Amino acid sequence: MFEIVGNRSVHADILVYEKDIYKIKNGQEVYFTISNIPGKKLKGNIFSVGKAYEDKARAITVHAYIEGAEGNIIPGMYVNAHIMVDSITTDVLPEDAIATEGDKHFIFIKAEEGGQLNTEKEKPGQDEKGNDEQELEWHFKKTEVIPGIRDNGLVEIKLLTPLPENAEIVVNAAYYLLAEMGKGETEHEH
């Protein structure tokens, strides 16, 4: 639960639950989203960590400045805050880039010809000059990954095998590709 408490130098009171208190210190970055500024993340920093424990909420109050509030914030408003407690570099993909089959998780990588799945990229037609175009196909390779932390529509992935340099990864519709691959396997079984 978070509340805006002033608008001259805008800062927020952030309730941090007891299980997370040990992770909090002055200077940490905080990212805010506010319902009346959709699609925009504001940044700030913790400037004070409270010492009084609130029994009812089982939390302490942390105070953080909000940068670039643009006058759209009114005292008493609620915000969502994410406090950065670790600085870790990791590989992430949108949730739609990962497909699950049984207890395994996969991503799809654009492959050269002969990949595990071939799908039409474009149906033949005519270009602007009226010339017939050739049918083009995309080729994909299914690659197993281990998903990790999920946050804001992104998923941390751990690769079981390194990706080729400059690999192109499908970032949405992975379930569609998995279903298409399954269709292809059943068509070949007689």
Q: Walk along the chain (190 residues) and give the pLDDT tens digit of each residue.
A: 555 555 457 788 899 998 998 999 999 999 988 887 777 888 999 999 998 888 888 899 999 988 876 666 777 888 888 898 877 788 899 999 999 999 999 999 988 765 555 554 445 555 666 666 666 677 888 999 999 988 878 899 999 989 888 889 999 888 888 888 777 554 444 4
Count of CA atoms in the C-beta half-sphere (13 A) of 154: 7
Residue 143's pLDDT is: 92
- Inter-CA distances, 108 with 92, 145, 184, Å: 14, 10, 16
Residue 46's pLDDT is: 94
Question: What pTM does this model have?
Answer: 0.54
Farthest-apart Cα atoms in the chain, separation: 76
Which CATH class, in words, describes the domain spanning 91-188? mainly beta
CB 83 within 8 A of CB 30: yes
Answer yes or no: CATH 2.40.30.170 is held by domain 2-83: yes
Residue 28's pLDDT is: 92
- Inter-CA distances, 69 with 27, 149, 152, 173, 184, Å: 19, 29, 21, 36, 53
Domain range list for the chain: 2-83, 91-188
Residue 186's pLDDT is: 47
* 122 strand-pairing partners: 136
